[in-house]
Amino acid sequence: MWLLVEYAAYASLYDKTYRAPYSLAASGRLKLAEHIRHLSLRFFGKRDPGDLTNLILSDYGQVEHTISHNLSQLISAIVLPVLAFVGLLLVDWRMAVAMNCGSLRCGSVMAYGFDSGTTE
């Protein structure tokens, strides 16, 4: 029974993580292609075909990657500490405050580390 519940949860997660962003990017590519189809031939004389190909393929590839990977990680990085804090509030409010102070300190150290990176 538990295996079926786990499979259903994983299938839903897979759909929201990969299929939805890729279908969103595919619809964006189709809208862009339809817009390009209606442009005059003078536009294509001014633009490099490689530039148009890069616009269609590369930019939407980055959108797919951002939505499917980075957005889900960002949401989980925000939701999990909040749920842990609320759960600890139900157990002991002092433990919840102590955990939250530690999380805030770690977050500020990480934010400072990303901002003060040196380029050599």
pLDDT in tens, 22-65: 888 888 888 887 887 787 777 777 777 777 777 777 777 787 88
- Tell me the CA distances in angstroms from 75 to 1, 69, 70, 78, one per residue in order: 29, 10, 9, 5
Enter the pTM of the model.
Answer: 0.50
60: burial class by Cβ within 10 Å (0-12, 13-18, 19+)? middle
